[in-house]
Amino acid sequence: AEKMTGRDFLTLFDYSPEEINQLLQAAKSYKENPETKKGVLAEKSLGMIFENASTRTRVSFEVGLTQMGGHALFLSPRDLQIGRGEPVKDTAQVLSRYLDAIMIRTNSHELVEEFAHYATVPVINALTDAYHPCQAVADLLTILEQKQTLQGLKLAYFGDGNNVAHSLLVAGAKMGMHVVLATPAEHKADQKIVARVKEIAKQTGAIIEETEDSHAAATDADVIYTDVWASMGFEEEQTSREQTLSAYQVNEELLASAKSDYMFLHCLPAHRGEEVTAEVIDGTHSYVYDQAENRLHAQQAILAALIG
Ligand code: CP
Ligand code: NVA
């Protein structure tokens, strides 16, 4: 595998299956032997620009880097000069002179790409409208912990064809999984991303499918995944989305056709009674808190690979 040092982490399209595997092994090893991460990122600094809210991403990056001997700074565009119109170019160049890496959460994926173009240190995508790659690595780690393998597993995703769905598609295609998206016609995944992912699947043996039929998607699934119906930036569509997406709710009735040892995942935050029932997310098949914890281990592996 190529060295990952110095690279951006904007989508998993840029990482080979071997590299993703390396990240997963490193994350697993940091989780099992926490003493091995001490000092790995001593004196490293990460800038974290959050244009949108966050609980998991912010805390797991900040604590994750602290545990490795480095320091993370929370930067709000409300306080940065970028919020008053300073160009992305200048912000990216200047911050690169102080920091070892920059993490950004914002709606526009193009903005993150522009930032990465001008930055001279690695830029990490911490969620855009298009992708959530850090989440996908944590998701793979969580599946691996329970199933010991990824290749050939059926992951069924229900609801909005959003950022999280896109990153699951890329991750699943790279790792040879069977990924099925069950979405209504109005909220399908980005078809350009689906086409790219299908090309990757030809090389890895992955199967990528889209359907409007929730029950077909759930049948014999190993992993059941859902996310909010109205992502950040789409809140004004909440009511109309409740109509179009209600048939894609993950509930016990849907799960009757899944494998008997299926696992339920959700990146969180969740809305009980909307995309998933309380019974399912709070039930014995749910691994959502392991999944949230795994953000920490996954991102420690990512940071070590990029700036270690
Ligand atoms: N899953 C996730 O990214 O959570 P936050 O929005 O809380 O960071
Ligand atoms: N799809 C959600 C994920 C939040 C972590 C959003 O973009 O709001």
Residue 46 lies inside a defined structural domain of this protein: yes
- Do 152 and 261 sit in the same domain of this protein? yes
- Between CA 175 and CA 205 the distance in angstroms is 9
% of residues, the chain, pLDDT over 90: 98
Catalytic residue among 8, 129, 135, 139: 135
Q: Check the annotation: does 241 bind a ligand.
A: no
- Do 189 and 283 sit in the same domain of this protein? yes
In the annotation, is 272 catalytic? no
Ligand 1: list residues with CB < 6 Å.
Answer: 54-57, 127, 135, 267-268
Q: What is the mean pLDDT of residues 176-182?
A: 98
Provide the pLDDT for residue 224: 99
Q: What is the pLDDT of residues 237-249, one digit of tens each?
A: 999 999 999 999 9
Position 45 confidence tier, pLDDT thresholds 50, 70, 90? very high
Q: Check the annotation: does 135 bind a ligand.
A: yes
Ligand 2: list residues with CB < 6 Å.
Answer: 127, 162-164, 227-228, 231-232, 267
Is 192 a residue whose pLDDT tops 50? yes
Domain range holding 80?
Answer: 12-131+294-307
E strands, the chain, in order? 45-50, 71-75, 101-105, 123-125, 154-158, 178-182, 207-211, 223-226, 263-266
Question: What is the 132 CA–ligand 1 centroid distance (Å)?
Answer: 9
Residue 257: strand, helix, or coil = coil
Residue 263 lies inside a defined structural domain of this protein: yes
Q: What is the mean pLDDT of residues 50-57?
A: 97
Provide the pLDDT for residue 222: 99
- Do 112 and 144 sit in the same domain of this protein? no
- Do 75 and 172 sit in the same domain of this protein? no
Question: Nearest CA to 229 among 129, 130, 161?
Answer: 161
- Do 98 and 239 sit in the same domain of this protein? no
Q: What is the mean pLDDT of residues 250-263?
A: 98
In the annotation, is 135 catalytic? yes
Residue 302 lies inside a defined structural domain of this protein: yes
ipTM: 0.99
- Do 274 and 243 sit in the same domain of this protein? yes
If one residue of 49, 267, 275 were mutated to test the ligand 1 pocket, choosing by the most ligand atoms within 8 A of its CB, it would be: 267
- Do 152 and 248 sit in the same domain of this protein? yes
Residue 171 lies inside a defined structural domain of this protein: yes
- Do 155 and 279 sit in the same domain of this protein? yes
Q: Check the annotation: does 56 bind a ligand.
A: yes
Q: What is the mean pLDDT of residues 270-287?
A: 98
Q: Are 116 and 110 in contact (CB under 8 A)?
A: no
Is 253 a residue whose pLDDT tops 70? yes
In the annotation, is 105 catalytic? yes
Determine how many CB atoms are found less than 10 A away from the CB of residue 279: 13
Provide the pLDDT for residue 61: 98
Provide the pLDDT for residue 124: 99
For the ranges 30-39, 75-84, 126-135, 193-202, the lowest mean pLDDT is seen at: 75-84
Provide the pLDDT for residue 235: 96
CATH of the domain at 299: 3.40.50.1370
- Do 121 and 204 sit in the same domain of this protein? no
- Do 205 and 256 sit in the same domain of this protein? yes
Provide the pLDDT for residue 1: 46
Report the domain count for the chain: 2
Provide the pLDDT for residue 237: 98
- Do 125 and 225 sit in the same domain of this protein? no
Is 18 a residue whose pLDDT tops 90? yes
- Between CA 299 and CA 122 the distance in angstroms is 13
Q: Are 276 and 251 in contact (CB under 8 A)?
A: yes
Residue 255 lies inside a defined structural domain of this protein: yes
- Do 162 and 87 sit in the same domain of this protein? no
Tokens representing 278? 């309380």
Residue 2 lies inside a defined structural domain of this protein: no
Is 2 a residue whose pLDDT tops 70? no
